[in-house]
Amino acid sequence: MRADHAYAKATRILMRLEGKVEMSKKFNVANKIFENVKIGRDAVIEDFVILGKPPKGKQPGELELFIGEYSRIGTGAIIYSGSRIDDCFQTGEYSIIFPYVEIGKDVKIGEYTIIGVPPKGKGSNELVTIIGNGSTIRSHTVIYAGTRIGKNFNCGHGAKIREFTIIGDNSQVGMLSQIEGYAKIGNNVKLHTNVHVGQYSEIGDYVFIAPGTVLTNTLHPLCPKVEKCIKGPAIRSYVKIGTNVTVAPRVEIGENSLIGAGANVVRDVPKDSVVVGNPGKIIKSIHDLDCPFNLIDKPYSLENRNITA
């Protein structure tokens, strides 16, 4: 069979399966659009898109899918019913949005991104996932269901954010970083490339974590009782952590501390401390640091602490 004949046959089959759709303009005939899909005006739907696919246990059209005005849905994207997407949304090719995902205004999602993946043991209709206004989520990122992300979130390529993670406003997660779920991350946080955040970790506001840092959460891996005591570190607000740092489970790093590159932090750190070495040792107060280039009097003075890189 010639390719164009096969395409025409597939198109006719898809069109027979489609239900009524509230549309403001004509869409490509190769798309599959289920019943109870509402799409705002001046939206662009590219080829081979599936909109309003029902989750397991639900009938077609039982749940509404809403997509706002001026949105653009990339080729091959799949968006399940039960989700609500605000105006000016853009999604790249072959992305998947599971049910019960709420996406704010002016959100951009890259190619091959998956939002709202149900964790093991949970159905796709049990957990709500929220992405705040103005967020950018780059290609090949996976965000699990139950995650709640504030406005102006910025995510690098290939990041993974597991279930029940809470992230505040204006925060960033770098390329190939992993947040292993049940974590709390504050506002204006920057996690750089390839940062690993173990389950049940806490990160305050205005925290900077450089590439290759690992926040661990288990004192005795594979212990049969590990689930009863698993807990990550608590990184308080305004902490700066250098590259390739390891932070032990349950350790608290006090507010406005600086952890030098390569340190292994195995004990609690008081606020305003500078820590280096393996095992990490406090060598001075952060207020004793001077700029070696004489560009600034004190690099970490109180008036500079709300600056983000």
Distances (CA, A) of 201 to 132, 166, 247, 266: 22, 11, 11, 15
Measured CA to CA, the distance from residue 35 to residue 18 in angstroms comes to 7
Nearest C-alpha neighbor of 81 from the set 147, 21, 162, 11: 21
Q: Which ranges constitute the DSSP H helices of 153-229?
A: none
| Largest separation between any pair of C-alpha atoms in the chain | 77
Q: Are 272 and 254 in contact (CB under 8 A)?
A: yes
Pairing of strands 160-161, 178-179: parallel
- Tell me how far apart the alpha carbons of residues 110 and 90 are, in angstroms, rounded to a whole number: 8
- By C-alpha distance, which of 194, 248, 178, 181 is closest to 220? 248
Cα angle: 123, vertex 129, 132; to 5 degrees:
170
Please confirm, yes or no, whether 220 is among the known catalytic residues. Answer: yes
List the one residue out of 119, 35, 118, 25 whose CA is nearest residue 73: 25
| CA distances (Å), origin 59, targets 50, 62, 224 | 15, 5, 41
Query: Among 299, 262, 265, which residue's Cα sits nearest to residue 282?
Result: 265
Selected catalytic residue, list 140, 192, 196, 220: 220
C-alpha span between 153 and 5 (Å, rounded): 45
Q: Which residues pair with 142 in a beta bridge?
A: 114, 160
Catalytic residues: 220
